[in-house]
Amino acid sequence: MTDLVFLALSGLVVVSAILALEAKELIYGAIWLAFSLIGVAGLFILLGAEYVAMFQIAVYVGAVVVLILFTIMLVQRERGRIVEEEEPGRLGRAGALIAGLVALVVAGAMIFLAPVSPETPEFYQVSLRELGRSLASSYSGALVILGLLIGATIVGALTLAKVEREGKSNGTA
């Protein structure tokens, strides 16, 4: 039963990831990405990490909306227009071949060196309470630094947005 669920979820993750890459319209790509991330959340639940799964849904799947928003705001939409695909050149083909081979070798090595198992050993299952306690005590320094990092990112993003807006208003005036 567990194996069946594991296989179904893995299938969902892989297939929707491929569809996300192949989608002609960016918004459909974003939707498939959301499905893929939901599948990853399901894998986390199967491994007994419900907490991580919930944040996977709240943060990653929820953030897909931002991707959709960027697509709407940045890409001009014309329904019915056929996207012309550029034929990849010789260099592009070679690059794709090399990347595919590397991915194949890495995946093969991972499967042979560490066999995949949907069962989790007991000692890996950490309760949320323990996790919170260790974050607030032994890892509190790292937590504060992470918080500062995120704060700096937000300030940087705000600065960039503000500069852009000033430029725009100058342009129109």
Partner 1 sequence: MKELEIPTSPQEILSLAVRIITSRTFLEIVIFPGFLNVMLSAAFLTWLERKVIARVQLRIGPLYAGMWGILQPIADGVKLMFKEMIFPELADAKLLMLCALGLMLVAFAPAVAIPFGEGLVIANMDIGLIYVFAVISLFPSVILLIGWGSNSKYSLLGGLRSLFQQVAYEIPMWLSVLGIVMLTGTLNLTKIVEAQQKLWFVVPQVLGFAVFFTAVLAELERTPFDLPEAEPELVMGWMTELSGVAFMVGFLAMYTKLYLMSALITTLFLGGWSGPAFLPQPVWFLAKTFLIASLVVIIRGSFPRVRVDILLRSAWTRLLLVAFANVFVTAGLIWLGLGTIWSV
Q: Which is nearer to partner 1, 24 or 129 (CB)?
A: 129
Residue 37 binds partner 1, judged by CB under 8 A: no
Helix, strand, or coil (residue 91) = helix
Per the structure block, which two tokens stand in for 26?
A: 């960016």
Distance of alpha carbon 24 from alpha carbon 32, whole angstroms: 12
DSSP string, 77-115: P-TTPPPPPPPP-HHHHHHHHHHHHHHHHHHHHHHHHS-
Sole binder of partner 1 in the list 65, 75, 98, 126 (CB under 8 A): 65
Task: Output the smallest distance, CB 31 to partner 1, in A.
Answer: 7
Q: Which is nearer to partner 1, 99 or 125 (CB)?
A: 125
Residue 125 binds partner 1, judged by CB under 8 A: no
Helix, strand, or coil (residue 49) = coil
Sole binder of partner 1 in the list 24, 79, 81, 90 (CB under 8 A): 79
Ramachandran region of residue 170, left (φ > 0), alpha (ψ -120 to 50) or beta?
Answer: alpha
Number of residues that bind partner 1 (CB under 8 A): 22
Angle at 29 between CA 42 and CA 82, to 5 degrees: 160
Residue 68 binds partner 1, judged by CB under 8 A: yes
Residue 31 binds partner 1, judged by CB under 8 A: yes
Among 48, 51, 49, CA closest to 59: 51
Distance of alpha carbon 58 from alpha carbon 22, whole angstroms: 25
Segment lying near partner 1 (by CB under 8 A), choices 61-69, 93-101, 141-149, 163-171: 61-69
Per the structure block, which two tokens stand in for 69?
A: 């928003």
Residue 23 binds partner 1, judged by CB under 8 A: no
Residue 111 binds partner 1, judged by CB under 8 A: no
The residue ranges that bind partner 1 (CB under 8 A) are 1-2, 27, 31, 34, 50-51, 54-55, 57-58, 61-62, 64-65, 68-69, 72, 79-80, 128-129
